[in-house]
Amino acid sequence: LKMALEPRKYCIVANWKCNGTTDFVRDIVNNLINDLEFDQSKLDLIVLPGLLHINLAKARINDNVMIGSQNVSAFPGNVDNYTGEVSAQQLADYEIEWVLIGHNERRRHYNESQEHINQKVEQAREANLGLIYCVGENLEQRESEMTYDIINQQLGSIKEILDKTQWRRVIIAYEPIWALNTGKIASADQTQEAVELIRAWLKDNCSDEVSKQTRILYGGPVTESNTENLIKLKDVDGFLVGSTSCKPVFRSIFDMILAQANRDLK
């Protein structure tokens, strides 16, 4: 008999973005992050500090919390001269476990093309880093009913780089870019529709196993008021939390997700 696949663990990624000082890092690690108690068999907590703060966070954070990087070079280290870059090999050497790639702010503010993002994925894969890979459509694309086309393009591009075993080290974050700083809100139904589409894409283009095992996070605005409804959705496995993860309210958001994980994963 074929063994049943293990249920997906829940996951919370705290993206501190370009926030904080050394005092902030000491304070949030000591008084919030290290105070969170959870069963690692049910939930992963991944913190993405700013690059300058990775060392400090890594030294102080509890062993049950994983550290990732908000960015990675698209170019290999030790090969050529890339001033100011941090290579995937350097992150791996420093025992960083995850890297965020394809975030909408990198795509928009730094004009990162899909080709450039693919190079980052390739570097991260070769260094055996876990990927937190962002996909999502903007308002114009959504109103033109291009959601599937955009997600198909964004996922299809990295499918050429990853083999089926490497999807185990991929977390997908759905960012409803149309609901970021636009005054619009992604409802539970709209969110489920998008993540269901992603899971169906994984089944059709990778395998049923990859579809069932890959975790999909909600990467839109996360608040106390929408967390409880969104985490109940059958295809949402957690959240990519932005600047809210730097605030005391993050504890409440964490507790709601943990409660759902404890209910689901006995």
Catalytic residues: 103, 175
Task: Please give the Cα distance from 28 to 198 (Å, whole number).
Answer: 33
Q: In sequence order, what are the beta bridge partners of 48? A: 15
Q: Give the tokens for residue 72.
A: 């990675």
Question: Regarding beta strands 170-174 and 98-101, do their DSSP bridges make them parallel or antiparallel, or are they unpaired?
Answer: unpaired
Q: Give the tokens for residue 146.
A: 């291009």
Which of 191, 106, 100, 105 lies closest to 142 in space, CA to CA?
191
Q: How many CB atoms lie within 10 A of CB 148?
A: 14
Radius of gyration (C-alpha) of the chain in whole angstroms: 18
Q: How many CB atoms lie within 10 A of CB 223?
A: 14
Task: Please give the Cα distance from 219 to 177 (Å, whole number).
Answer: 9
Task: Please give the Cα distance from 127 to 136 (Å, whole number).
Answer: 26
Burial class of residue 175 (count of CB atoms within 10 Å of its CB; 0-12, 13-18, 19+): buried
Q: Give 22's Cβ-side CA count (13 Å radius).
A: 4
- Whether 195 and 174 have beta carbons less than 8 Å apart is answered as yes
Question: Cα dist. 5→87, 161, 213 in Å?
Answer: 34, 24, 8
